Structure 1
């Protein structure tokens, strides 16, 4: 079997995020939801789909170009040899070694599609290829409730808004929620960088604490709260905020600041809250110092930016050596959701799966043929051959496409 061509696509969703998710951070709402995907074809008629997970914010065009560039390197290759292909791209492109998000997002898309082909060729799901499932059901949390929950989204402003959104998710069966309590001010505007960094005024610390307190009182002691920060804080403000909410039994403190090994040590040493991070840490080489210093207790490698299935499995196995848990990060199309579920089913150190509020929106659901959703706060692992999902006819017709052959 040989790779015959690659279609690289920038998908065009039917709605812009601003029509569905008002007030998205950093004006993301003014940018369309634009997943970057590929479909790799073989000379035996089998194809596989993969995604470079940069659907939001400002890097999608870069991922599109990089995916086109790297696709030219795999024409004629045996798609079953994902390890040699990964190493070739890493070593022979010059920019692969110590590469960043855009480079490894493109690698992730190619690698994901290769695993999809392999599973289809052997007629087995990805979780079989990865060694078999530890579990059939995956505990799941409702994510990004500062935007609301469900189809009717609006910024959470008052403490009652935060409590109401959390209760709504809990009534659906979730026993864990994630919220960025420091996204919107009391008028519904996003906070500026200056307001969230450095030593904070008591007003900001007290505002965040009051929102956390409201959610904890609303959901009770048996629902976990994950505190999201999107790296908008720096080490000083992250420590201030972290100390103020320790008493509310925070499950983990996500992306407290821009991930760097030295500041991670400082934050971890100052707080008694497990730290979660990783969606902006790429490859096993970047993860290594965090493992060695024990500064992250739950890693969150993104299946669509860290290097794909081949790389994420290595990262998760390395984390297991250090007794570090895993939540695979996914904020992308349903392609990445399907792959993340299968990877999480196959690792012993899985903790919880993220169900992003964007996964509830039509602008995302329409892009794939299957719409996987949790039931009572648990996901069932897909059992179809390959990754378990593929691009819809809508997606294939509404895209900017380049064919590499």
Structure 2
């Protein structure tokens, strides 16, 4: 069997690939560099001459060839590699007629715990959404408690309002539900040192990404100074080398690789093993729909240090969209898939652009003085 065609398709802020073979099998993948899908598409186009005629089973070999064929790095490149990698794992599972998790060492768990992303803002809306999620069977919720005007508040007001919103959610769900607090890289390190202990008093499962990703050392330093509050980092990191630096410097009890950005299944399973060696857990990032959710589920199924899988309302909304998963949510869990490959059917005949993020790149936060605030 050899690769006969590589399709790369951009639909709005979504980017998909389909890898065709001489045996008639088609593997599907998706990238997660949602800000620049056209750039990822261009990189996949440069991969095509190498991939055509290649043996699709040589997944690890292809990963290294594609990653190192040019002397450049970054999220656009790793996103392109990720999409191809996922498609190749999908092909291997289909050829061997087993789900991908079976190829990763077999099943560690019987179902996949989910945490629901809450889209609301403000204490009242978030508390109501959290209560509804728990009523629907979720045992964990994730939300951003920072005020909308976070860039212009005094430190005292920033801390008290953020803590009050978090407390409202805790009161709504009680002590038996885990809270995952997402700070979206909006704070400076000094602000983080005040905000993180305040929300930590509400006993969240984790607090994620308080500061920008510009420096791995700075992220690790904020985590070291978090005084016992569990911290999570990594949704915008790309490689095991970045995760190694983060963990080695004392950063992150929870790592957050995105399988559409951090090298696909091939690389994310290495990140998971690296985290395991530091007694860190994996809470993989995903907010771009069913295909990447299902790819993550296969990794979740096969690793020992998984805790909970990110699940977006988009997963339910797109259940009958272009990427259709073979399993559906059951309350706050997903069943372990049993279909060969990733268990995803991809239909790109509808050319309507997708809007997975709802965020044009030109719409970023500004402070009242006209300067650019820390953006998500």
> Is the 2:217–2:249 contact (alpha carbons within 8 Å) kept by the matching residues of 1?
no
Alignment pair present for 1:138 and 2:112 = yes
Counterpart of 1:40 (choices 19, 32, 37) is 19
Once the two structures are superposed, residues 304-343 of structure 1 have per-residue CA deviations (whole angstroms, 9 ceiling, x without a partner) of 0001111111111111111110011112231111110011
CA–CA distance in 2 between the matches of 1:170 and 1:208?
22
**How big is the alpha-carbon RMSD for the aligned residues of Structure 1 and Structure 2?**
1.8
Once the two structures are superposed, residues 173-209 of structure 1 have per-residue CA deviations (whole angstroms, 9 ceiling, x without a partner) of 1111110011x53xxxxx36x437xxx4312211111
Structure of greater relative contact order (alpha carbons < 8 Å, 6+ residues apart)? 1
> Is the 1:278–1:300 contact (alpha carbons within 8 Å) kept by the matching residues of 2?
yes
Once the two structures are superposed, residues 115-168 of structure 1 have per-residue CA deviations (whole angstroms, 9 ceiling, x without a partner) of 11111111111011111010121111111x1x24xxxxxxx33x2222111101
CA–CA distance in 1 between the matches of 2:109 and 2:264?
21
Alignment pair present for 1:257 and 2:211 = yes
In the TM superposition, what is the alpha-carbon distance from 1:373 to its structure 2 partner? 3.7
Q: Tell me which residue corresponds to 2:282.
A: 326
Count matched residues: 351
TM-score by length of structure 1 reads 0.83
CA–CA distance in 2 between the matches of 1:281 and 1:370?
26
Counterpart of 2:65 (choices 76, 88, 92) is 88
> Is the 2:294–2:325 contact (alpha carbons within 8 Å) kept by the matching residues of 1?
no
Name the SS of the counterpart of 1:306 in structure 2: coil
In the TM superposition, what is the alpha-carbon distance from 1:294 to its structure 2 partner? 2.7
Counterpart of 2:134 (choices 161, 170, 180) is 170
Name the SS of the counterpart of 2:292 in structure 1: helix
Alignment pair present for 1:114 and 2:88 = yes
Name the SS of the counterpart of 1:114 in structure 2: helix
Name the SS of the counterpart of 1:282 in structure 2: coil
CA–CA distance in 2 between the matches of 1:166 and 1:256?
21
Q: How do 1:171-320 residues align onto structure 2 when only pairs under 5 Å count? A: 171-182=135-146, 184-185=147-148, 191=149, 194-195=151-152, 200-259=154-213, 260-271=215-226, 272-320=228-276
> Is the 1:35–1:333 contact (alpha carbons within 8 Å) kept by the matching residues of 2?
no
CA–CA distance in 2 between the matches of 1:61 and 1:239?
38
Segments of 5+ residues of structure 2 without an aligned counterpart are 354-376
- Between 129-138 and 373-382, report the one with greater CA deviation: 373-382
CA–CA distance in 2 between the matches of 1:290 and 1:365?
38
CA–CA distance in 2 between the matches of 1:240 and 1:65?
43
TM-score by length of structure 2 reads 0.89
CA–CA distance in 1 between the matches of 2:241 and 2:10?
29
Q: Tell me which residue corresponds to 1:53.
A: 32
CA–CA distance in 1 between the matches of 2:63 and 2:175?
45
> Is the 1:333–1:367 contact (alpha carbons within 8 Å) kept by the matching residues of 2?
no
> Is the 1:333–1:365 contact (alpha carbons within 8 Å) kept by the matching residues of 2?
no
CA–CA distance in 1 between the matches of 2:189 and 2:37?
29
Alignment pair present for 1:385 and 2:340 = yes
> Is the 1:54–1:332 contact (alpha carbons within 8 Å) kept by the matching residues of 2?
no
Segments of 5+ residues of structure 1 without an aligned counterpart are 13-33, 149-155, 186-190, 401-405
> Is the 1:369–1:391 contact (alpha carbons within 8 Å) kept by the matching residues of 2?
yes
Q: Tell me which residue corresponds to 1:78.
A: 55
Name the SS of the counterpart of 1:397 in structure 2: coil
Cα gap change, 1:372 to 1:202, in 2 (>3 Å): farther
